[in-house]
A = this chain, B = another copy of it.
Amino acid sequence: MGQTEVRVTLPDWVDRFVEWDCPYPSDEDRMRLVIALARENVERGTGGPFGAAVFERDSHRLVAVGVNRVIESNNSMLHAEMVAFMLAQQRVGSYTLGAAELPTHELVTSSEPCAMCLGAVLWSGVRRVVSGATWEDARKVGFEEGPVFPESFRFLEEHGVTLVRGVLRDEAAEVLRDYLRRGGTVYNG
């Protein structure tokens, strides 16, 4: 008899914390939300210092959010981006956010995607990725990005994904540094 089910969950506080119907008109507005999620996740002790969200690119409607759940869920796949993608795809009822009948979607993430999440970006169907802290910021704290190379980013761009880096970079990186100061676990570092 093996395991047959895994539950991927957001912490209880998230749904109350997020203003679902509030407008997020600029990249900075959207980045402030995911940085706040990352910070709150650390302060409440519910995961690593990372937050992400999926938006409709043109209406700026918030579709789903994610926070890092790796240690708390015993699941190394549960980076904030992965959680946000899973919840967004479930919400729209499609395995691709790029389905022809859907509006165009984008990912906003407090820290640049690692190798796994970059691959997931491609399969997710989002057409734009906005990130805050860079991989250099993450690395300074001890988080590795894995096999990510300049051609990884070029590959995504060649496949129609627009990448925007370093939005509110200092605020985003500060959450990483604060996690380290609090003695947070840097897994697989």
Contacts and interface: CB of A to CB of B under 8 A. Distances in A.
- Where chain A touches its partner, the secondary structure class is mixed
A107 interface: no
Given A15-B4, A87-B2, A123 B93 contact: no
**Can you tell how many copies of this chain the complex includes?**
2
A91 B123 contact: no
Nearest to A155: B147
Contacts of A125: 76, 188
Given A75-B95, A123-B188, A188-B122, A86 B6 contact: yes
A94 B124 CA distance: 26
A5 to B, nearest CB: 5
Interface residues of A, number: 58
Contacts of A122: 115-116, 144, 146-147, 188
Interface of A: 1-10, 14-15, 18, 20, 62, 64-65, 70-71, 73-77, 82, 85-96, 114-120, 122-125, 144, 146-147, 149, 151-152, 155-156, 187-188
